[in-house]
């Protein structure tokens, strides 16, 4: 795969370089130079394939220059070890559950794929790779778990002190070994800024081969296309008129709870390859700079605000440049495919209770934002596909408060609560962060 930077389309690089750099040298984000457009029949033929097979087939299309066939299978089967079931609330509203991995959120798919790819690189190159990543909660957990024990890789997780849920924190502060948690006195945006500053710092660069595992990394994004593909083709297949063997053409709208917009960007990339989705709903909380843009305002990054869907508390979404690039900076074209919406915490809480009472289904606060977007903007014959980004058990305070005694805690979590937190507490300054990185 050839990739260009959103900052400069003329210069391309190969996949391995793009993955190891994370960000392009000009500060832009890497984009695939070619996303081959596949016919309707290609997508329909994928239905029934298990997830690792769907993943491998996507990698075959996109990464045949970068990994051998055996490596592509190995990566797909190491990363896609859990399912993503589609649950129907009613005839027209469906939930894609992306939270059955080790950290109970969709980020497990991207993080595990990236870790599997890095292991292939490390095996071939025998040089140590340092991953630095900022998290508002779930990324850190998924990356730490995905990379824990990976040979030749060390990981630093930057997180805002006191601003992630205690359970999320436990998921990346209790592993040890090659995983170090940096507890920053600041916001998530400070953490993102510090990650960028480390990349720009000559002293750190001279000592470490840095890369990032944030959703800006193209290795995180590609596997996220897989479950969009998976859900859409299975939904299409479920609507086949078996009596007439009629190839279905139902319109599908995907509602994506969004923060840094990696998930939505992956969906848009699959759409560009011809995946039959008619449009997307970009659902956010009070941090709604992208919906504002889609509604005709300027793109105006803002400090992030805290909400109960805290993994989406992002004031300057990092994948926005990729979205602009996909639509060649054309707002109107983007707005034809994407409806931007946002909901406050009160509406989110009401939705959780309403869906429980009406459908017997328990949603976490992020999924609830996606549900609200789908409920309000799915139209007529459209089938709504809501991406359920996290398991409700990751947000016990909110869930207990709304629906006491209803939630059951999955095994993945019970094991972790009793373990001891270990973090290095630093101020939100590059000097402090550099000290820690260079000491290790």
Least separation in angstroms between residue 112's CB and ligand PLP is 14
Shortest spacing between CB 427 and ligand PLP, in angstroms: 25
Helix 51-62 vs helix 69-79: crossing angle, to nearest 10: 140
Length of the chain: 440
Cβ 381 to ligand PLP, closest distance in Å? Answer: 28
Classify strands 86-88 and 93-97 as parallel, antiparallel or unpaired: antiparallel
- Largest alpha-carbon pair distance within the chain? 68
Tell me how far, at minimum, the Cβ of 218 lies from ligand PLP, in Å: 14
8 A C-beta contact, residue 181 and residue 173: yes
Least Å from the CB of residue 213 to ligand PLP: 13
**Of residues 116 and 312, the one with the C-beta less far from ligand PLP:** 312
Shortest distance, position 264 Cβ to ligand PLP, whole Å:
6
User: E strand or H helix at 93, and its extent?
Assistant: strand 93-97
In the complex, least distance from residue 279 CB atom to ligand PLP, rounded to whole angstroms: 17
Nearest 10 degrees: Cα torsion 183, 186, 187, 193: -90
Q: Given the complex with ligand PLP, which of 137 and 201 has the nearer CB atom?
A: 137
Interatomic CA distance for residues 170 and 87, integer angstroms: 29
Measured from the CB atom, the residue of 138 and 321 that comes closer to ligand PLP is: 138
- Encode burial over 6-29: b for 16+ CB neighbours within 10 A, e otherwise: beeeeebbebbebbbbbbbeeebb
Nearer to ligand PLP, 281 or 426 (CB): 281
- Name the residue nearer to ligand PLP (CB basis): 43 or 320: 320
From CA 207, how far away is CA 77, in angstroms rounded?
34
Q: Are 124 and 86 in contact (CB under 8 A)?
A: no
Q: In whole angstroms, how close is the CB of 312 to ligand PLP at the nearest point? A: 5
Cβ closest to ligand PLP, residue 28 vs residue 267: 267
Alpha-helical segments (H) within 208-318: 218-238, 262-272, 289-294
**Closest to ligand PLP by CB, 257 or 276:** 257
Beta carbons within 8 Å of 37's beta carbon, 6+ residues apart: 272, 273, 274
Give the residue ranges of DSSP H helices in 22-94: 40-45, 51-62, 69-79
The answer to whether the Cα torsion of 102, 255, 257, 337 is positive or negative is positive
HEC letters along 112-135: HHHHHHHHHHHHHHCCCEEEEEEC
CB of 212 to ligand PLP, least distance (A): 14
**For residue 100, what is the DSSP state?**
-
CA dist list (Å): 232 to 61, 254, 275, 387 = 18, 9, 8, 11
- For ligand PLP, which is the closer residue by CB, 312 or 352? 312
Least spacing, CB of residue 105 vs ligand PLP, in Å = 5
CB nearer ligand PLP, residue 352 or residue 390: 390
Give the nearer residue to ligand PLP in terms of CB position, either 120 or 167: 167
DSSP element (H, E) containing 412 = helix 411-417
Question: Which stretches of the chain bind ligand PLP, using CB under 6 A?
Answer: 105, 107, 138, 215, 257-263, 311-312, 366, 389-390
């Amino acid at each position: 795969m050839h990739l260009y930077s959103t900052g400069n389309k003329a210069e391309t690089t190969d996949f391995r370089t793009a993955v190891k750099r994370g960000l392009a040298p000009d500060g832009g984000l890497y984009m695939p130079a070619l996303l081959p457009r596949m016919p309707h029949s290609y997508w329909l033929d994928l239905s029934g394939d298990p997830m690792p097979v769907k993943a491998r087939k996507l990698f075959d299309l996109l990464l045949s220059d970068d990994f051998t066939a055996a490596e592509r299978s190995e990566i797909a089967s190491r990363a896609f070890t859990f399912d993503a079931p589609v649950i129907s609330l009613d005839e027209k509203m469906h939930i894609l559950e992306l939270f059955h991995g080790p950290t109970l959120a969709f980020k497990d798919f991207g993080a595990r794929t990236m870790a599997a790819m890095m292991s292939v690189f490390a095996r071939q190159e025998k040089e140590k790779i340092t991953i630095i990543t900022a998290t508002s909660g779930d990324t850190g957990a998924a990356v730490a778990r995905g990379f824990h024990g990976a040979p030749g890789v060390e990981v630093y997780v930057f997180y805002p002190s006191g601003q992630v849920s205690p359970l999320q924190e436990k998921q990346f502060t209790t592993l040890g070994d090659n995983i170090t948690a940096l507890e920053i006195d600041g916001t998530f945006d400070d953490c993102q800024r510090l990650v960028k500053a480390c990349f720009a710092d000559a002293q750190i660069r001279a000592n470490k081969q840095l890369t990032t595992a944030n959703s800006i990394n193209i290795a995180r994004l590609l596997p996220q296309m897989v479950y969009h593909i998976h859900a859409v083709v299975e939904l299409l297949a479920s609507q086949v008129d078996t009596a007439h063997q009629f190839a279905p053409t139902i319109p599908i709208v995907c509602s994506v709870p969004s923060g840094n917009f990696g998930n939505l960007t992956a969906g848009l990339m699959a759409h560009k390859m011809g995946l039959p989705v008619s449009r997307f709903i970009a659902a956010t909380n009070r941090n709604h700079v992208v919906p504002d843009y889609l509604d005709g305002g300027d793109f105006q990054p803002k400090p992030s605000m805290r909400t109960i869907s805290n993994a989406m508390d992002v004031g300057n979404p990092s994948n926005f440049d990729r979205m602009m690039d996909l639509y060649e900076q054309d707002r109107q074209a983007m707005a034809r495919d994407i409806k931007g919406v946002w909901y406050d915490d009160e509406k989110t809480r009401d939705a959780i209770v309403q869906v429980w009472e009406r459908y017997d289904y328990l949603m976490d606060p992020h999924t609830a934002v996606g549900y609200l977007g789908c409920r309000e903007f799915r139209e007529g014959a459209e089938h709504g596909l809501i991406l359920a980004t996290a398991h409700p058990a990751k947000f016990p305070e909110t869930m207990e408060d709304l629906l006491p005694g209803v939630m059951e805690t999955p095994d993945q979590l019970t094991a972790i609560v009793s373990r001891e937190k270990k973090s290095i507490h630093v101020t939100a300054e590059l000097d402090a962060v550099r000290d820690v990185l260079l000491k290790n």
